């Protein structure tokens, strides 16, 4: 073992604590901003109509309520496993813990896969021009590049995130500036902002269906809790960084969606698909260099993929250390100090997804998986109120997780108008998780190992 590097209780070197409050704020903002607004604005408009801002606002409210549960739990248990750790602490059901871990991991991978497809199918081509290389090959190359950055180290990854977050933020500010200029010039149609396209369904279903997809754009804040072991004093810095990051991201999203609806009819946004914001730019500022915004969008989806793949690999690392999944997935590289086996595993799944699944399905599946997980986390918080820890931590009012759990369950259910295909893809992914669980079960049984969490490992603080 290299001198000066501390070891985890498992004998593996500890992850490097390189993330302070500013880097964590950029991590939260950068993870929320990105693929959702850049790639799925058109699909959300197709579900709700001109009132495009409303689903993003409702998605923010539900995510914001759930964030309070995460803040209390990460303050109590500042380890890398996030939702899976909280589930196990609350219910102590190994199978449920495993499936929550696998669901969160899949949500990160499906989100990164959405970014990869948007990269290869829209923004790269719009930046460099037409190419004969198939979109699938471009997306796979993109995923491999992200894996290499992830392997290089957390310091490099989060610093790259700061640069990429600034770039993607500039793109959304351009759209907002275009909207302000258009309104000041008397352009745009404000009447669209209150139009809800019911499409032979009730207005409630139309709004909740769009919200369930827009929720994909607001997720990301929960990824940060899986970086807890790489944060300096996580119990102290998480509340401000997470809540302010969500408010900043939501404000930008609502302004962008208002601008989009003012300038472009919902049906045209839907037809534009993942290039909806390019359409907004063409209408509001036809003289603006197309290639500049395309390059910004390309960096935005790169950032989204990088953060999500970091989260997925760290989640597997955390659960492997607790023997909920095969311990080999927790192997840390001795020099880079990154969980390289988990990085390879999550990259392989992402490659399969970008080769077989459409971007709109990936977005809906990501939102579905996380809504279910969020409902479980909100309930877990109520159960874990009886667990006391010695250090100070954030505490949320009891009514908040109750309301958040009910709303999450509703948006995840068929009552919200969610397409059946979202459930099909989610079941296939979770079925793969079930197979992995069975394999791990028989391996442990054959070797005489018994999976038990170490309470001291779960509650010890970081450096």
Does residue 355 carry a pLDDT above 80? yes
Point out the least confidently predicted range of 28-42, 245-259, 362-376, 442-456: 442-456
d(CA 73, CA 221) in angstroms, rounded, equals 14
Does residue 460 carry a pLDDT above 60? no
* pLDDT tens digits, one per residue of 81-136: 578 788 888 998 878 888 888 898 888 898 889 888 888 888 887 777 767 788 88
Is residue 407 within a helix (H) or strand (E), and if so which, with residue range? helix 399-412
Question: What b/e sequence results for 9-36 when a residue is b if at least 16 CB atoms lie within 10 Å of its CB, and e otherwise?
Answer: ebebbbbbbbbebebbbbbbbbbbbbbb
pLDDT at 108: 84
Percent of the chain's residues with pLDDT above 90: 31
* pLDDT tens digits, one per residue of 147-205: 888 887 666 666 776 787 788 889 999 999 998 888 888 888 999 999 998 777 888 89
Percent of the chain's residues with pLDDT above 70: 88
pLDDT at 153: 67
pLDDT at 130: 64
**Helix, strand or coil, per DSSP, at residue 456:** helix
Residues with Cβ within 8 Å of residue 157, at least 6 apart in sequence: 149, 150, 306, 310
Annotation: CATH topology of 21-459:
Amino acid/polyamine transporter I (1.20.1740)
Please spell the DSSP secondary structure of 373-385, one letter per residue.
HHHHHHHHHHHGG
Quickly count: other Cβ atoms within 10 Å of residue 396's Cβ. Answer: 20
Instruction: Output DSSP code: residue 4.
Output: T
| Among the listed residues 449, 431, 430, the one whose alpha carbon sits nearest the alpha carbon of residue 440 | 449
d(CA 275, CA 272) in angstroms, rounded, equals 5
% helix, strand, coil for the chain, step of 5: 75, 0, 25
pLDDT at 15: 58
Point out the least confidently predicted range of 84-98, 168-182, 415-429, 446-460: 446-460
pLDDT at 453: 45
Residues with Cβ within 8 Å of residue 239, at least 6 apart in sequence: 71, 75, 394
| Among the listed residues 13, 344, 352, 345, the one whose alpha carbon sits nearest the alpha carbon of residue 148 | 344
Report yes or no: 327 and 173 within 8 Å, Cβ to Cβ. Answer: no
**Helix, strand or coil, per DSSP, at residue 8:** coil
CA dihedral sign of residues 341, 347, 349, 351: negative
The more confidently predicted of residues 337 and 173 is 173
Point out the least confidently predicted range of 22-36, 248-262, 425-439: 22-36
Give CA separation, 22 vs 18, 172, 229, 301, in Å. 11, 21, 16, 21
pLDDT at 298: 85
pLDDT at 378: 96
| Among the listed residues 44, 123, 53, 31, the one whose alpha carbon sits nearest the alpha carbon of residue 370 | 31
Does residue 43 carry a pLDDT above 50? yes
Instruction: Output DSSP code: residue 16.
Output: P
The C-alpha torsion from 19 through 20 and 22 to 28, rounded to 10°, is 50
Does residue 326 carry a pLDDT above 80? no
pLDDT at 231: 76
Does residue 76 carry a pLDDT above 80? yes
pLDDT at 161: 66
Mean pLDDT value of segment 4-30: 66
CA dihedral sign of residues 205, 206, 207, 208: positive
Instruction: Output DSSP code: residue 13.
Output: B
């Amino acid at each position: 073992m290299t001198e000066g590097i501390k070891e985890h209780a498992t004998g593996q070197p500890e992850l490097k604590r390189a993330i302070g409050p500013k880097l964590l704020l950029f991590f939260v903002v950068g993870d929320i901003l990105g693929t959702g607004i850049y790639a799925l604005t058109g699909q959300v408009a197709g579900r709700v109509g001109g009132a495009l801002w409303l689903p993003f606002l409702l998605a923010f409210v539900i995510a914001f309520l759930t964030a309070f549960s995460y803040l209390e739990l990460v303050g109590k248990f500042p380890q890398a496993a996030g939702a899976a750790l909280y589930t196990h602490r609350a219910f102590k059901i190994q199978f449920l813990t495993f499936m929550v871990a696998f669901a969160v991991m899949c949500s990160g991978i499906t989100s990164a896969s959405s970014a990869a497809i948007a990269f290869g199918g829209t923004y790269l081509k719009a930046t460099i021009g037409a190419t004969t290389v198939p979109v699938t090959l471009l997306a796979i190359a993109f995923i491999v590049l992200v894996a290499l950055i992830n392997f290089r180290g957390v310091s490099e990854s989060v610093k790259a995130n700061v640069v990429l977050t600034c770039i993607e933020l500039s793109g959304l500010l351009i759209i907002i500036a275009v909207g302000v200029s258009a309104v000041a010039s008397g352009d745009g149609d404000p009447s669209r902002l209150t139009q809800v396209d019911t499409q032979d369904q009730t207005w409630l279903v139309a709004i909740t269906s769009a919200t369930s997809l827009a929720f994909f754009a607001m997720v990301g804040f929960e990824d940060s809790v899986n970086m807890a072991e790489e944060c300096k004093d996580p119990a102290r810095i998480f509340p401000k960084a997470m809540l302010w990051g969500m408010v900043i991201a939501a404000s930008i999203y609502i302004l962008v969606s208002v601008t989009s609806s003012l300038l472009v009819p919902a049906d045209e946004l839907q037809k534009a698909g993942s290039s909806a914001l390019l359409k907004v730019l063409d209408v509001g500022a036809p003289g603006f260099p197309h290639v500049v915004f395309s390059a910004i969008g390309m960096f935005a989806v790169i950032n989204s993929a990088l953060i999500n793949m970091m989260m997925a690999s760290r989640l597997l690392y955390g659960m492997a250390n607790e023997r909920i999944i095969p311990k080999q997935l927790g192997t840390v590289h001795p020099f880079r100090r990154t969980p390289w086996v988990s990085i390879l595993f999550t990259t392989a799944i992402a490659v399969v997804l970008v080769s077989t699944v459409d971007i709109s399905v990936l977005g809906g599946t990501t939102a579905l998986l996380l809504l279910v997980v969020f409902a479980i986390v909100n309930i877990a918080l109520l159960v874990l109120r009886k667990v006391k820890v010695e250090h100070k931590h954030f505490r949320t009012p009891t009514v908040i997780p109750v309301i958040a759990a009910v709303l999450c369950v509703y948006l995840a259910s068929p009552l919200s108008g969610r397409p059946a295909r979202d459930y099909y893809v989610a079941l296939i992914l979770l079925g793969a998780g079930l197979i992995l669980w069975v394999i791990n079960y028989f391996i442990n049984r054959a070797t005489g190992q018994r999976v038990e969490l170490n309470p001291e490992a779960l509650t010890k603080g970081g450096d």
